[in-house]
Structure 1
Amino acid sequence: MKRDLLMWDETLFRDPEVFEIDYVPEQFDYRETQMRELAFQIKPGLRGGRPLNTICRGLPGTGKTTSVRKLFTQIEEATRKLIPVYINCQIDNTKFAIFAQIYHKLSGHLPPTSGTSFKQIFDAICRILLKEEAVLLVALDDANYLLYENEINRVLYALLRAHESYPGTRIGVITIISDLSVDLSREVDPRVASVFRPTEIYFPPYSADEVRHILTERVLTGLYPGVLPDTMLDLVIEQTMKSGDLRVGLDLLKRAALNAEKDARRRIEEDDVCRAYQISKYLHLTFTLRTLKTEEKNLLRTIATMSVGGNEMNAGEVYKHAKQEAKLGYTRFHEIVKKLDAIRLINLDYREGRGRTRVITLRYEPQRVLELLD
């Protein structure tokens, strides 16, 4: 029996990095068509021209970010005249924050935290591009967050019309959208639309066979032989397809292996996968909560607390509590509610009665939301 137990200094992981959400694999399958289309859009930038603007559209966990990151790595290895900058809009979702990250990439350091205006950063960026005779390519990942924050037009206008203030600057934009209810081409205002004119590249969900192949490749690279039996791989694939997000499968594999390792076992068992899924299935919730501002978290906490009894809530009732507990004004309350609905934390429905009543329901178990918020 002792032979089947891990020693204190042994591990089940050959390479734990391959199960991380932001890992970019050398072999990236099932997105060859999308990668070719992206490369075509970028190609003018390699020749000194302005890259064509692009929207990468698809559900979470369909390879959009990985495709862009992989192409950006290839660009950085090939040339210094086309400078790719990746922005996570869940984290940096204001015009100032985004241009501060662009400045950081171009200059090697962030601008001073105080006393620096947006115009100073913008001017510095354009001067660097002109001096280096370089083309800028900006990827706005989860750009739908800029829409929720009413920043999308300000950001795109500054990027795409930079040449009007600084003739000779050439900037292209890739927007990555995970909210399929958002039609970015129609959401931007006319002055932005006239210069944006993006090509849309769709990333469909992975099929069960594709998920199996991708996860099998990660297991072969990341775990030692024999750690994951075929029956357990089948269970992981089943849970991944249920969630519709490949990232859940990757997180599930990592947590299941950690569970087995904690018990000093050399093989992953069904209980390891089931226990891991109780955490991995909340991956979207966990990551999304990290992006919320304090007042948004406070309102979500109020909604979760009111949802504990399972009763339906109308927006008016929630606002009364939020006004007292979260100190929110009426306009800001409705802005946050719309955002929480858009990022799939709550459902906002309309019911006919005495006029139209807005009904709020939480998408997750209230206790789990409260635990993660606390």
Structure 2
Amino acid sequence: MKKDLLMWDETLFRDPEVFEIDYVPEQFNHRETQMRELAFQIKPGFRGGRPLNSICRGLPGTGKTTSVRKLFAQVEEEESRLVPVYINCQIDNTKFAVFAQIYQKLAGRHPPASGTSFKQIFNAVAKHLLKEEKVLIVALDDANYLLYENEINKVLYPLLRSHESYPGTRIGVISIISDMNVDLSREVDPRVFSVFRPTEIYFPPYSADEVHHILSERVMTGLYPGALTDSMLDLVVEQTMKSGDLRVGLDLLKRATLNAEMAARRQVEEDDICQAYKISKYLHLTFTLRTLKKEEKDLVRVIAEMSQEIDEKEEMNAGGVYEEAKTHMKLGYTRYYEIIKKLDAMRLINLTYRRGRGRTRVISLRYEPGRILELLV
């Protein structure tokens, strides 16, 4: 019996890093076409020309970020004039924050913490590129977050039109978009888009066979033999396809294996996977809530608490939510409505219009209010 139990100093993980969301695998399959297109877009930068601009579009968990990071890692290995800079716009979603990251990559240090204007940082970036004869390619991951913060034009304009103020600078942009409702040609200022003119590279959802292949490779690399049977892997694939997000599958493998370890078992069982899925299926919600500012989280909390208190047949209109929110936080109506539109764009709430006397805006949550309140703690 003891042989079937995992000892306190034993583990089922050969390499736990393999199951992290930001892990870039050595072998990256099923996105060869998109990688070739991206490589073609940035190719002019190797010769000192301006890289072509691109939009990587696809649902969350379809390989967009990994493709770009894999390509940038390859660029870093080459002795070339091209300097790749990856920006996570969920974290850095202002003009100053984006250019501070670019400055750090070029200068090897953060800009001064205080007393430094955007113009000074931009000037330092441009001068560095000219002096070192470098070409910049900037990836704006989850660029839709710049839209939610009304920063997209403020970021793209200086990047794409830098050659007007600093002749000789060469900068290309890759925008990664996970919100399929976003159309940058409509959202971006015409003066910006006329220079942007991006090539769109589409990342379709992975098929069940592709998900199976990807997850089986991670299992082979990350777990010891026998830790996960073929039938249990099939169950993980089935649950992953329900969510349509490969990241859910990776998180599910990690949590299910941890559950088996906690029970001191040498093999992952069905119950481990089912229990893990209860958490993993909310991966998108967890990540999204983390990116919100304090006042945005406070408003989500108010909406969730109101949702718990009302009857299922009742509606929450935007005016009523605002009146309730004012009793908990300092919030003007203009800022309130900006946040509501952002939460709708981020798919945390539904903002719909009901026709009656005028057009009443109705708010409803996309997730169970109890789960949201748990994650906000």
- Deviation per residue, 1:151-188 (Å, 9 max, x gap): 00010001001111111000000000000000112211
Alignment partner, residue 60 of structure 2: 60
Do residues 213 (structure 1) and 213 (structure 2) align? yes
Structure 1, gaps ≥5 residues long: none
Q: 1:144–1:178: 8 Å Cα contact kept in structure 2?
A: yes
Stretches of 4+ moved more than 6 A in 1?
none
Do residues 204 (structure 1) and 204 (structure 2) align? yes
Do residues 315 (structure 1) and 310 (structure 2) align? no
Separation of aligned partners in 2, 1:176 and 1:162: 21
Alignment partner, residue 367 of structure 1: 370
TM-score by length of 2: 0.98
Residue pairs, 1:1-374, within 5 angstroms: 1-309=1-309, 310=312, 311-374=314-377
Q: 2:61–2:247: 8 Å Cα contact kept in structure 1?
A: yes
- Deviation per residue, 1:169-210 (Å, 9 max, x gap): 000000000000001122111110111000000000001111
SS at match of 2:7: coil
SS at match of 1:308: helix
Q: 1:185–1:198: 8 Å Cα contact kept in structure 2?
A: no
Cα drift, residue 324 of structure 1: 2.0
- Deviation per residue, 1:250-277 (Å, 9 max, x gap): 0000000000011110000111001111
Separation of aligned partners in 2, 1:186 and 1:34: 24
Cα drift, residue 312 of structure 1: 2.3
Separation of aligned partners in 2, 1:101 and 1:217: 33
SS at match of 1:218: helix
Separation of aligned partners in 2, 1:200 and 1:284: 24
Residue identity in the other structure for 1:338: K
Residue identity in the other structure for 1:148: Y
Separation of aligned partners in 2, 1:220 and 1:137: 35
Residue identity in the other structure for 1:24: V
Q: 2:21–2:250: 8 Å Cα contact kept in structure 1?
A: yes
Separation of aligned partners in 2, 1:197 and 1:339: 26
Separation of aligned partners in 1, 2:232 and 2:352: 39
Q: 2:65–2:176: 8 Å Cα contact kept in structure 1?
A: yes
Cα drift, residue 80 of structure 1: 4.2
Separation of aligned partners in 2, 1:347 and 1:235: 31
**RMSD between superposed Cα atoms in Å:** 0.8
Cα drift, residue 371 of structure 1: 1.1
Structure 2, gaps ≥5 residues long: none
SS at match of 1:334: helix
Question: What is the percentage of aligned positions where both structures have the same residue?
Answer: 81
SS at match of 1:206: coil
Separation of aligned partners in 1, 2:155 and 2:137: 14
Cα drift, residue 362 of structure 1: 0.6
